[in-house]
Amino acid sequence: MTDRLVTFETEGGIGIVTLRRPEKFNALDIPMLRALETVLDEAEAANDVRVVLLRGEGKGFCAGGDVEAWAQMSAADFQVQWVRYGHRVFDRLARLRQPTIAVLSGHALGGGLELAVACDFRVAETQVKLGFPETSIGVVPGWSGTQRAVRRFGAQTVRRMALGGEILLAPEALALGVVDRVVGTGSGLTEAKAWAGKIAERGPLATEAAKLMIAVAEGEESAAATEALASGFIALTGDLKAGVDAFKAKQKPAFSRS
């Protein structure tokens, strides 16, 4: 379907999430955030999808938060409905079980860059600009631009963008580690699909476990990731089956540590 704000399609083991608000350079408002959250749940549940690409329709990847969507909010609504809800959706992306690649065929500024940062990898076309310009209009990065971005790229790089107002071109962003690959104009999606295809050939459970372990080391989701890894291990044991079978039979389980 192409009439939705965010769509999810599959090509083999690759899932493609597309932001579809090209007339606003895919700027995010509350309906867009809700649609993205729904689509991410859909991607998570797709057992045959091993890698997820995130792209924007038209000339922009994502212009960030739509100023018109939040400018008239009260301080309380801005905090809860905008900042905290946006955080929830971006965290959902960062914690997706599959590896994710942001396809930057257009500029990624403000919340758009924060969205790309929530992905595991970023492929940028050479003409793309990246930055955190929020302080130029009297606000601050609100969807982890001063948190997740600092963990992933270092404080000084984020200072240059958020405090100094620097807008990075893709080659400079590559040198700073903000993007992982730079390709020619019009080649971003092709490159991302090729890279995703190679990732999809790897062991899916091992890849998901490795992503979780990296998340723990990075401080992304230590508690949830630790419990997920431990629970997944236990689910493969004979002890779990013995316990469940005994529960159903209303008997005492005979664990074998197998």
Residues forming the active site: 114, 134
Where is 75: in which H helix or E strand?
helix 75-77
Cα 215–Cα 6–Cα 200 angle in degrees, nearest 5: 45
Q: For 78, which DSSP code?
A: I
Q: Provide the token pair at 74.
A: 């009260």
The residue length of the chain stands at 258
Report in angstroms the alpha-carbon separations of 96 from 40, 51, 142.
8, 10, 20
Q: Provide the token pair at 172.
A: 């400079």
What whole-number distance in Å separates Cα of residue 122 and Cα of residue 9? 19
Expressed in angstroms, the distance from the first to the final Cα of the chain is 48
